A = this chain, B = another copy of it.
């Protein structure tokens, strides 16, 4: 951030009064610009014991497989966001179940939240996807999973075996 989004003047990095860390502040209009982690919402859609994965058509990790997931938008709940991402990436409707994993990706400034989900009907290939496929548990392409957070989610999903064992918290070191 170089310029104030309120008034267009240059911002500087200073600690506001009453705060305990530096922020981008505008000395022209006094605006303080906070920067906070973003939420990624995703789900593990299941149908007849198989799991729906998407092969990414975009970077990062183009060509690798992932559960449907993406940035949460304003105006939706976390569960609605996970369902929307599945609609966009896999052209599939899901019934969202329970939250079972929350992964801190500190270096990327992100928190990844994963839900169980029941795949309702068919699926297709969204704009950001090369192909979409239902994988039996033993056929999951573990060496071609795009992100550590999604790999963790898949592992815990299978360990839970459908039970709600609460949320598995995890931290991964890199955006990958």
Q: Which of B9, B34, B77 contacts A171 (CB 8 A)?
A: B77
A60 to chain B, nearest CB (A): 16
A99 interface contact, C-beta 8 A? yes
Contacts A6-B2, A166-B166 given; does A104 touch B77 at CB 8 Å: yes
Q: Which of A2-33 contact B (CB under 8 A)?
A: 2-11, 18, 20-21, 33
Number of A positions contacting B (CB below 8 A): 47
Q: Which of B33, B106, B127 contacts A18 (CB 8 A)?
A: B127
Q: List 15 A-B contacts (CB under 8 A).
A: A2-B7, A3-B3, A3-B5, A3-B6, A3-B8, A35-B74, A36-B39, A36-B72, A36-B74, A76-B106, A77-B104, A77-B169, A77-B171, A100-B166, A167-B167
B106, A36: Cβ atoms under 8 Å?
A: no
- List B contacts of A169 (CB < 8 A): 77-79, 98-99
Sample of 10 further A-B pairs with CB below 8 A, known A3-B8, A8-B9, A39-B39: A2-B6, A3-B6, A3-B7, A36-B39, A37-B72, A37-B74, A76-B104, A164-B165, A164-B166, A165-B166
